[in-house]
Amino acid sequence: MSSGEDVRLEAQNEIRQTLNLCSFYARQVGLFFTDDPPSNLLQKLKNKAAFVLSAAALLLLVAGELAYVLSLLAANTSVAEFVASLHIAGYGFISVGKMAIIWYKQDIFKQLVRELADLWPVRKDDGEAAEIKQRSLNALRFFHIFYTAFTVLGVALYNLTPIALHAWRSARGARSELGFVWHVAYPFDKRHPVYHKIAYAFEVCSGVSSVFFMLSSDLLFTATTSHITMLLRLLQLKIRRLAPERGAAGGEAGGRGAGGHWVATEDCLTEIVSCVKVHQRLIKYFNDLEKAFSLVNLINTVLSSVDICCVVFVIVVSIQVAAAAYLQGVRKG
C-alpha cells in the first residue's frame, strides 16, 4: 500500500470515529453514511426491514397525531389543548421530513463523507495545527454526547412518564389507568385492554424511531460543518505563516511552512498555490454540503420555529389559567 493510500485510510478512520454516534443511530433504522452496506443477503434483508418498519411506524404515528389534532379542531376544543397537540405533532412532521431527506440523499451523504478524507489533516509533526484539530474534535465530541443524551432522555421521559404516574397512583391506592405516550387517534377503541397494550407499544417504538432518524440527520450535519470550520482554521494558520518576517537588517527572511518553520521566499509561491487549491476545494465541498442539507435546514428553521411558538403559547396560557385559579381560590377563602 502506498503512502498516499495509508494517509487516506488514516483520514477515513479518524472521520469514522467522529461519526460513531451518527453511524450507530443510522444503523438502527437501516441507513449507512460511513460504513459499507452489508454484502450478506440476510443482513441486507434485515436492514431493509429495519428501515421499512421504522419509517412505517413513524408515518403511522404522525398520521394518528394529525387525525387527533383535526378531531380536536372539529370538536371545538380549547385553544390551549389544540396548540399543545399541534406542538407534539410538529415534532413528528420534523422527523418525517428528515427521514425522507436522509433516505433519498443517502448516497450523496456517503460521497460527502468520502470526499472529506481528501481534505482531512493527518500530520502530527505540526504542534499548533494538531492542537487546533484536537480542540475541534473534543468540542464536537462533547456536543454530540450532550445533544444525544438530552434527546434520548427526552423521549425516555415521554415513554416512561405514563408508567411512572400509573405506578405512583396505584401505590397510593388511588384508582388509576395507564395513559398513553402521545396524542394519537386510532380507528379502534384504544381503551380496550388488549388494544391499549398494542397502542402503547406502538407509540413507544415509533417515538424511538423518530428520535433515531432525527439524531442521524442532526449528528451528521453538525459533524460535517464542524469539520469544515476546523479545516478553515487550519488553512488560516497556513496562510498566516506565509507572512514575511523582517530580519534585523530590515530584509525579508521569508515565511513559515506547515511544519512551523519559516519558508524561504522562493518557496512561498508553492505554498500560496497550495493554499489557494485547498481553499477552492473547501468552497466546493461547502457548496455541495449546503445543497445536500438545504431541505433539512429549511425543515429545522420553519417547523422548529412553529413548534417554539406553540410551546411559548401553551406556557403563557397555562400560567394565566393557574393564576386565575389561584386568585379564585383566594377570593373564596
> Whole-angstrom Cα distance, residue 243 to residue 1?
37
> Whole-angstrom Cα distance, residue 47 to residue 55?
12
User: What is the sign of the dihedral through the CA atoms of 181, 187, 191 and 197?
Assistant: negative
Residue range 86-141, pLDDT digits in tens:
777 778 888 888 888 888 888 888 888 888 888 888 777 778 888 999 999 999 99
Tens digit of each residue's pLDDT, the chain (333 residues)? 456 677 778 888 888 899 999 989 998 998 888 766 777 888 888 888 999 999 999 999 999 988 888 888 777 776 667 777 777 777 888 888 888 888 888 888 888 888 888 888 877 777 888 899 999 999 999 999 999 999 999 889 888 888 888 888 888 877 878 888 888 888 888 888 888 889 999 999 999 999 999 999 899 989 998 999 999 998 888 888 776 554 444 444 455 554 445 555 556 777 777 788 888 888 888 888 878 877 777 777 776 666 677 666 666 666 665 666 656 665 665
- Site of grid cell 379542531: 73
For 159, counting Cβ atoms within 10 Å of its Cβ (0-12 exposed, 13-18 middle, 19+ buried), the class is: middle
Neighbouring C-beta atoms of residue 221, cutoff 10 Å? 20
> Whole-angstrom Cα distance, residue 26 to residue 34?
10
- Site of grid cell 445543497: 291
Residue 14 is placed in which grid cell? 479518524
Closest CA to 113 of 5, 269, 220: 220
DSSP symbols for 112-162: HHHHHHHH-----S-HHHHHHHHHHHHHHHHHHHHHHHHHHHHHHHHHHHH
Closest CA to 184 of 49, 327, 57, 292: 57
